[in-house]
Amino acid sequence: MPKDVSLDFLPSSFPSCECSSDGKLAFCNGGRVQILTPSHEINTPKYIKSLAILENYDENERMYSPKDLRIGDLILNHTARQVAWSPTGISENYGCLLAVLTNRYQVYIYSSTSKILHMNWKCVCHINSFLPQGNLSSLRIHVLAWSSLLSLPRLSPWGICLLGLGAEDGNVHVMCVHRNSEMVTKSVNLKCGWLVRLSFSSWSVHNHTAVCNLVCVSQSGSIYIIRVSLDLSTGDYEMHHEDFPFTIDYRSIAPAITWSPVVNDSEYLALAYPNTIYVSCYSKLTGEFVSIATHKLTSLASPVGVFFARNDKSQILMYILTSLAELQVIVLEMTSSNMISNITELPEKQLLEKFLAHRLQSYGSTSESSKSLRIHAFCPSPFSSTAIIHFSVSYPNSFIYIASAMERSFCAYSPAIAVETTFSHLVSSFLTNCCFLPAEGCFYEFSLLEGNNKVDFDILKLLSESLSQLLISDFDYCLRFKDPTSFSNLTSIFFDPSLNALRLLYGWSVYSQKSLNLSIFSSLRNRLVLSLMVFALSKLLSNANYLTVTCKTILKNCVSLTYKELSEVPTALEVADRIAKFIDIPSAFEEVCPACKSHIEFTNEAIATCNKGHVWQRCSITMLILHQRTARYCSICKSVTVDWGSLNIQSACFTKEVQEELGICYFCGGHYLS
């Protein structure tokens, strides 16, 4: 099991612990947000610590009247009160963005593309400036939430998502976010006072429309449903709201809320109160909430975390953790039509009891009765195999001076929940679409599964066994490309199960420091070269002016490598011969040594050497010569690619489309760092 991580701040008054889909952790820390990035490098800590600094960005602060003042306005500096990670694919390097809500009710977006393991986080957007500039209470944001990613092939191959913002006057602002496009904002006024909880369901696709539900909870405990409908062909979306269809015992407090994963075309919404939890079933086929069930909890304390998981018996479990470090585990029993028939507690409801007791004994030298453990926040790992817990150990006043070094926050992992189920889900999801499933999160979850189990659980062995039928030869792969016109976009290579199987094996072997199979890398590279040539050929058949000098240089290298490595594959040779006729390779297309300006012939796909002995690394994708300052590195396998900005691409061409469609690492699915 991974060791506990000591955080660099005292326990915060704002509970926070958020895990991104690629494995990063974020915690509120006063005027900063502490970020932990998993590291798989040799001789480095398990997590690299970094900070997102909340500066006073509002230079022209508004002067408030006494009736408009809030406590947050009286604090001199910005402090973080909530953090939330976006899905993958939205940031500059196709990774996750971090949204931070401050005590002054402002929302800022942070991003990082630093090659030093995300040490440099900078503010890239002030969300409030995009909101309708109406009354003040509509601009005071009290809660935020991201939706899951939605595939929109015609508009953005990397998908779009929604950012929901709950305002003080009951307005819900929903922003549509995707790469290379302006954010569009629409609002709905629920007229309910302060909003304090938001949670998006997953997307349902019907014909040409995608639908998701946004659950909103006001400070007084009122529950509303906003239905968002998005046109898949245009990206336009509409919203309408309705009251929650079921009557529950009125409570003047806001429950903790969360959605379950989709199970047999149904989703479950949990509303966790002190001493009681409600679970409602939403049918994705009918678009309606069809049932609700309730269960009494043993604790009267407020829940600090609730999430759904699947165990290895294919049961749907719910984990509810309170601020008193009390955990309850319940199982949902359902009928054949997915209706909730019963909710029962599992014998392992005290799953964390020994885990938490061990933490209590591990910190400090005082007796157990003189100190206490407090849970501040609780969230699932990227794919819910385990839970991340933000906790601290408190001491009586007489021990504060002696034990001040221990008076800080810690981050730990609970025992793994569903090892086999999580493993099979990760593999099947990655094989289907590795654009939407970040490789960093997938391999991080694999490492948690392997590290959390006392029994032998060899991920590499399990991957080799489960993927064996998908590992086809280069010859069989090339047979798919007899008709170049069928290969219309490069992004499709991230949806190919045989390629994704190779990426899983290669990426995990690098991530886990296991023996590296170079034949897998060679096979991936050969298939990349063939895909690039077939894609270029399909475009050239309709546009003879599609290639620039840089495009021809890339294709020249592809042709050279094909003649060298795939000379026994007739389909590959046929494609290479056709490309060679289009680019008409003269000596003018030889590459030039950046140091001495002498010409370089293509002899090696990884290294370029001139006659005077200068050696340069080549781009893993285009095989162009790289300057060190123009390189980007994969965060997992360290494959290197050209910094596209250095090529100064202005018009639509082969090189520009490669840039836009191969935004993540081709070899393992990781994200590039600059």
pLDDT of residue 370: 59
Question: Please, which pLDDT band fits residue 375 given cuts at 50, 70 and 90?
Answer: confident
What are the two backbone dihedrals, phi and then psi, of residue 335, each rounded to the nearest 5 degrees? Answer: -85, 180
pLDDT tens digits, 289-305: 988 888 888 888 888 77
Is 137 exposed, middle or buried, given 0-12, 13-18 or 19+ CB atoms closer than 10 A?
A: middle
Q: What is the tens place of the pLDDT at every residue in 160-206?
A: 899 999 999 899 999 998 876 778 899 999 988 889 999 999 999 88
Give the model's pLDDT for residue 198: 96
Q: Is it the case that residue 346 has pLDDT exceeding 70?
A: no
Angle made by CA atoms 90, 93, 95, in degrees to the nearest 5: 50
Please answer whether residues 24 and 37 qualify as being in contact, where contact means their C-beta atoms are separated by less than 8 angstroms.
yes
Q: What pLDDT, on the 0 to 100 scale, is given for residue 401?
A: 42
Instruction: Convert the pLDDT of each residue in 480-496 to its tens digit.
Output: 776 666 677 888 889 88
Looking at the predicted structure, is the pLDDT value of residue 391 above 50? yes
Is the pLDDT at 502 greater than 70, yes or no? yes
Evaluate if residue 213 carries a pLDDT over 90: yes
Contact 306, 324 (CB under 8 A): no
Contacts of 182 (CB under 8 A, 6+ apart): none
Q: What is the pLDDT of residue 365?
A: 45
Tokens linked to 138: 């509509």
Closest CA to 217 of 257, 173, 274: 257
pTM score, whole prediction: 0.88
Bridge-partner residues for 169, per DSSP? none
Confidence at residue 359, expressed as pLDDT on a 0 to 100 scale? 62
Angle at 73 between CA 71 and CA 79, to 5 degrees: 90
Q: pLDDT per residue over 72-88, tens digit each?
A: 555 556 788 899 999 98
**pLDDT tens for each residue of 409-455:** 778 777 777 788 888 889 998 998 888 888 999 999 898 888 766 56
**For residue 512, pLDDT beyond 50:** yes
657 vs 134, more confident? 657
Enter the tokens of residue 365.
Answer: 């030298």
Using alpha carbons only, give the angle 320, 326, 328 rounded to the nearest 5 degrees. Answer: 40
Residue type, 377: A
Is the pLDDT reported for residue 355 higher than 80? Answer: no
Q: Which residue has the higher pLDDT, 338 or 95?
A: 95
Query: For residue 403, is pLDDT > 50?
Result: no
- 411: β partners: 5, 390
**Nearest 5 degrees, angle CA 517-CA 522-CA 528?**
135
Residue 161's Cα: distance from chain center in Å? Answer: 12
Residue 101, beta-bridge partner list: 82, 107
Which of 139-143, 363-367, 514-518 is least confident? 363-367
- Of 202, 668, 199, the closest CA to residue 438 belongs to 668
| Segment 235-253 mean pLDDT | 85
Q: Distance between CA 179 and CA 361 in Å, rounded?
A: 48
